[in-house]
Structure 1
Amino acid sequence: MAIRRTAKMGNPVLRGRSEEVPVDLIKSPDVQSLVRDLVETMREYQGVGLAAPQVHESLRIFVAEIPQEAELKIVINPLISPLSEDTISTWEGCLSIPRIRGLVRRSSSVKVSGFDQNGNPLQFEAKNFLSAVVQHEADHLDGILFIDRMDDLQNLCFVEEYVRYHHKS
């Protein structure tokens, strides 16, 4: 396992559509190593999600974990479908856009399907913050950053100003 260097905004790997992982290769040493590295890197940098393009791998894989709220999710070749028209607005950050936060509106509940790290079909519902996290990570697989989803760029700020003016304890 290794902590990987993260791609920063401006790197072309963050703006392309990632390739699907052939199901018969999910259990390969390379894919398994990448999955372990994604989890370790996400945890090291105290993120709640990380997608393969963020570690310079253009593959359709992401991981998500919200401590004390949602167990580790490893999703390969995800499909995300909204479960309702309800939306939530959350202040998002990104390891590829360090020290920045932005207010983003997303579906409040989604169905996530794909494959787990063993190549088994996977399906779960994500609500509220977890819903926002999986949508954020899935966007990375299509070359979309959270700033592209913002309704109003006036709601873009440095993390220090977010803490001072917008963070609710």
Structure 2
Amino acid sequence: MTLLKIASIGAPVLRQRAREVSPQELASPELQTFVDDLVETMHDASGAGLAAIQVHRAIRIVAIHVQDNPRYPYKPNIPLTILVNPVLTPLSEERFDNYEGCLSVPDLRGVVSRWAELRVQALDRHGAPIDTVVRGITAGTYQHEVDHLDGVLFVDRVTDPTTLTTWKEFARHHEAGFRERVEAVVKRWGS
């Protein structure tokens, strides 16, 4: 496997809308190898997710995986999930505030309002349909990654710029309070 270069904020690719992937392209050995490399890159960077566009491929594929992640110790675990051509549909008007960071926006976090419950429709890496519901903090992770496919970074969704903080200052001043809010979201939504 190959570790891929992660684009940083300011790179034009991060502001593109990614194109859909055809079933034939998805089945190709080249694209299957790319998916493996995307997952390996996400794991190497300790990310909770990584969109293809973040590694300079403007295609509608994201990888999501949270397994006792050291960058996000408060996030519920999410099994390795590959979403191809994902569509997210909010299932209620309920939202929650999520302190987010991003591998493409190094050393910065900020509060983003996210839908609390979503229907996720996509293909898996082998072209099989996915139709599931995600809730709570997990729903926030899905929204963050799928936003990348439309050229949207979490900083675009921060409604109060005074919440922007470095990771060090987040840990020092905000993490304890945020963990309490996360626990309430997890208790309410189960994830």
Query: Partner residue of 2:43?
Result: 43
Letter matched to residue 136 of structure 1: H
Give the drift of 1:143.
Answer: 0.2
Give the drift of 1:67.
Answer: 1.2
Distance 1:49 1:88 in 2: 19
Query: Where do 5+ consecutive residues of structure 2 fail to align?
Result: 69-76, 180-191
Query: Where do 5+ consecutive residues of structure 1 fail to align?
Result: none
Aligned-partner SS, 2:59: coil
Residue identity (%): 41
Does residue 21 in structure 1 map to residue 29 in structure 2?
Answer: no
Distance 1:13 1:24 in 2: 24
Give the drift of 1:25.
Answer: 1.6
Is the 1:48–1:65 contact (alpha carbons within 8 Å) kept by the matching residues of 2? Answer: yes
Write out per-residue CA displacement over residues 54-76 of structure 1, whole angstroms, 9 at most, x where no aligned residue: 00000000011121521111000
TM-score with structure 2 setting the length: 0.86
Which one of the candidate residues 81, 90, 94 is aligned to 2:102?
94
Structure ranking higher in strand proportion: 1
Query: Partner residue of 1:31?
Result: 31
TM-score with structure 1 setting the length: 0.97
Post-superposition, which runs of at least 4 consecutive aligned residues in structure 1 deviate over 2 A?
none
Is the 1:66–1:130 contact (alpha carbons within 8 Å) kept by the matching residues of 2? Answer: no
Once superposed, what is the RMSD of the aligned Cα atoms?
Answer: 1.0
Letter matched to residue 106 of structure 1: R
Give the drift of 1:24.
Answer: 2.0
Write out aligned runs for 1:39-78 (5 A).
39-68=39-68, 69-78=77-86
Give the drift of 1:104.
Answer: 0.6
Give the drift of 1:3.
Answer: 1.1
Query: Partner residue of 2:116?
Result: 108
Structure ranking higher in helix proportion: 2
Distance 2:31 2:96 in 1: 33
Is the 1:64–1:134 contact (alpha carbons within 8 Å) kept by the matching residues of 2? Answer: yes
Query: Partner residue of 1:142?
Result: 150
